[in-house]
Amino acid sequence: MSYTTQMDAARKGIVTDHMKRVAEKESVGVESLMADIAAGQTIIPANVHHTSIDPEGVGRGLRTKVNVNLGISKDCQDVEAEMDKVRSALAMKAEGIMDLSCFGKTQEFRARLVQESTAMIGTVPIYDAVGFLEKDLKDISVDEFFRVVEQHIADGVDFLTIHAGLNRKTAEQVEKDERLTRVVSRGGSLLFSWMKLNDAENPFYEHYDRLLELCEKHDVTLSLGDGCRPGSIHDATDAAQIQETIVLGELTKRAWERNVQVMIEGPGHMALNEIEANVLIAKKLCHGAPFYVLGPLVTDVAPGYDHITAAIGGAIAAGAGADFLCYVTPAEHLRLPSLDDMKEGIVATRIAAHAGDIAKNVPNAREWDNAMSKARADLDWPKQFELAMDPVRPMEYRESSKPEHEDTCSMCGKMCAVRNMNRVMAGEDLNLDD
């Protein structure tokens, strides 16, 4: 029996190789995984042309996944530097990579990325449209927008961020709302501008069936973008954001009718006490489709440290049911992230994702922490490094300040609580004298 997409296969009772691999990674039953894919609660983004992919599942009951943004721009066109980031991101176990390239040899970079990456690849085709077509935004036609989408699909991209929910009605709401930061989504702002300049409807909303046909044919997942995501805590949970989410819910159901996999993108900047409600609202309005968030950043006053503000929000979002976290680096709002910025962002976001998994009782999440606790209780330093999310930094810290006694650290020395409890419980003398 043939199938078009992972959702189509699941609905026909076909267990694909991708499903088997995801079930193995997640320690879940393949039958329950297949049921969630059929219902749209879980996705496996995997373009048929991305042959190097090691597929990941995103959705209900699975580990919270982490995405890394990178790509070339007019000010930073070093393809090799971005490929170094790709390799580091894969080594640091990022499950997704979004290529946000918007200038220069974007197709060349995208082709290399898809060829080398075992992680799922996402793009925002409208970023590429102006440079690819070498035309002013106002002069790009609907067919030309779709030509760029078709190129990204043919290149093997697994999920496409398309801001189809920012239609004319939603755009009118943006103009009514007293937003401090208006539209901060790059893709959303480009579409908003195109609509205003041409007095026209969003082409991806108006011609949504055309988009679905392409996605169905190549098993490309739609990541329905949040053009109205809040760019400040002031703008969170306003009418424009909710209006767009309602539209995304309608578009989700239309995609499912064509067996096209969908995830929903969410905020953004948001006060800590609003995050859980936003996750629940998005899940409700979008019928339980997987939810993909940027942060959320819980304060606006920490530039240079936004990997921390985002990790705080990301942990709460993941614990409340978000399925996919887009990393944020210390360079957010300031510059293109360096390799070191990227590493800091990945670790911070992986911490947030894992904290959320513990809260959600994802299989094997707590077991990892319990194994680390056992290694600490045993003062087993090699095992602690082996289990560490990032083994390199703790090893460097340990080596940089060696203690007099191997069963201690240089902070506590012989007063180490773990060392002394182990000795007392074993009936040994403490001998705390220097």
d(CA 282, CA 323): 12
The pLDDT tens digits for 90-129 are 999 999 999 999 888 899 999 999 999 999 999 999 999 9
- What is the pLDDT, as a whole number, of residue 434? 53
The pLDDT tens digits for 282-308 are 999 999 999 999 999 999 999 999 999
Q: Is 265 annotated as a binding residue?
A: yes
Q: Is 215 annotated as a binding residue?
A: no
The pLDDT tens digits for 364-411 are 999 999 999 999 999 999 999 999 999 999 999 999 998 988 888 889
Task: Annotate 56-78 with DSSP letters as a single string.
Answer: --EETTSPPEEEEEE---SS---
Q: Is 412 annotated as a binding residue?
A: yes
Beta-bridge partners for 160: 123, 222
Q: For residue 220, what is the DSSP state?
A: P
- Bond preceding residue 268 cis, omega within 30 of 0: yes
- Structural contact between residues 226 and 184, judged by C-beta atoms closer than 8 angstroms: no
Q: Is 69 annotated as a binding residue?
A: yes
Q: Is 152 annotated as a binding residue?
A: no
Q: Is 366 annotated as a binding residue?
A: no
Taking residues 328-346, report their average pLDDT: 96
Q: Is 286 annotated as a binding residue?
A: no
Q: Is 3 annotated as a binding residue?
A: no
Task: Annotate 85-99 with DSSP letters as a single string.
Answer: HHHHHHHTT-SEEEE
The pLDDT tens digits for 248-260 are 999 999 999 999 9
Walk me through the domains of the chain, giving residue ranges and CATH numbers. 44-360 (3.20.20.540), 366-425 (no CATH)
Q: Is 205 annotated as a binding residue?
A: no
Q: Is 185 annotated as a binding residue?
A: yes
Beta-bridge partners for 316: none
Taking residues 327-356, report their average pLDDT: 97
CB within 8 Å of 340: residues ≥ 6 apart? none
d(CA 63, CA 313): 17
Is residue 433 over pLDDT 80? no
Mean pLDDT of the chain, nearest integer: 96
Q: Is 163 annotated as a binding residue?
A: yes
- What is the pLDDT, as a whole number, of residue 432? 80
Residue 225 φ/ψ, nearest 5 degrees = -75, 150
Q: Is 102 annotated as a binding residue?
A: no
Is residue 431 over pLDDT 90? no
- What is the pLDDT, as a whole number, of residue 6? 98
Q: Is 409 annotated as a binding residue?
A: yes
Taking residues 335-361, report their average pLDDT: 97
CA distances from 426 to 128, 372, 390, 420 (A): 66, 21, 33, 10
Q: Is 57 annotated as a binding residue?
A: no
Q: Is 98 annotated as a binding residue?
A: yes
- Among the listed residues 189, 250, 260, 276, the one whose alpha carbon sits nearest the alpha carbon of residue 221: 260
Taking residues 251-274, report their average pLDDT: 98
Q: Is 187 annotated as a binding residue?
A: yes
Is residue 83 over pLDDT 80? yes
Confidence of residue 425 (pLDDT cuts 50, 70, 90): very high
Structure tokens of 191?
């579409």
Is residue 321 over pLDDT 70? yes
d(CA 139, CA 130): 10
Q: Is 292 annotated as a binding residue?
A: yes
Q: Is 269 annotated as a binding residue?
A: yes
